[in-house]
């Protein structure tokens, strides 16, 4: 099997099955007739730009970038806010999110990937994220929405 054929087979497999690890992917490729080693799988994952996303089953599985649905992105944002946000403040059309040291970039990345319709941009530091609301959206309205995500499941 050529590299191009193997890449095509990998893309087919990740569309059809929930594959979470390189060994699961290697086993699936073996079943499809390709005998590959772990280093080849690792290189293929990198070359294809595969990412891990949460499947409906809850498992993290390989996927192409951008394959998450809007519902999945929102669920990921909600979970990330509950996990990392310590506080939220608003001023004008700006929201400031506070995180523990070192977590601002991770939370800003999730917020960016969520493509939230009211968020224009984010800027992350060590423990603070500046979130700029889109034209016509107040920082207070965006803060309230993000705060509601943060408070979900709280008693």
Domains of the chain in start order, with CATH, are 3-63 (1.10.10.10), 70-151 (3.30.1360.40)
- What pLDDT does 68 receive? 60
Residues 6+ apart with CB under 8 A from 36: 6, 26, 29, 30, 44
Which ranges of the chain have pLDDT less than 70? 56, 66-71, 153-155
Write out the two tokens for 48. 């294809």
User: Based on the number of CB atoms within 10 Å of its own CB, is 100 exposed (0-12), middle (13-18) or buried (19 or more)?
Assistant: exposed
- What pLDDT does 147 receive? 93
Write out the two tokens for 43. 């290189």
- What pLDDT does 35 receive? 87
Cα 132 to chain centroid distance, Å, stands at 20
- What pLDDT does 91 receive? 96
- What pLDDT does 56 receive? 67
- What pLDDT does 59 receive? 82
- What pLDDT does 15 receive? 85
- The pLDDT tens digits of the residues spanning 66-111 come to 666 666 778 888 888 999 999 999 999 999 999 999 999 989 988 9
Q: Which residue has the tokens 């309205």?
A: 141
What's the pTM?
A: 0.58
């Amino acid at each position: 099997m050529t590299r191009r054929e193997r890449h095509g087979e990998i893309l087919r497999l990740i569309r059809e099955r929930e594959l979470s690890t390189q060994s699961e992917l290697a086993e699936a490729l073996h079943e499809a007739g390709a005998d590959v080693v772990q280093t080849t799988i690792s290189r293929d994952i990198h070359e294809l730009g595969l990412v891990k996303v949460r499947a409906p089953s809850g498992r993290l599985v390989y996927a192409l970038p951008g394959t998450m649905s809007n519902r999945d992105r929102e669920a990921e944002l909600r979970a990330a806010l509950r996990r990392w946000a310590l506080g939220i403040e608003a001023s004008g059309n700006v929201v400031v999110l506070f995180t523990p040291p070192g977590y601002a970039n991770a939370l800003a990345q999730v917020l960016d990937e969520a493509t939230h319709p009211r968020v224009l941009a984010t800027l992350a530091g060590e423990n603070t994220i500046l979130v700029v609301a889109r034209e016509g959206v107040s920082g207070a309205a965006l803060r309230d929405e993000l705060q509601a995500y943060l408070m979900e499941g709280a008693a």
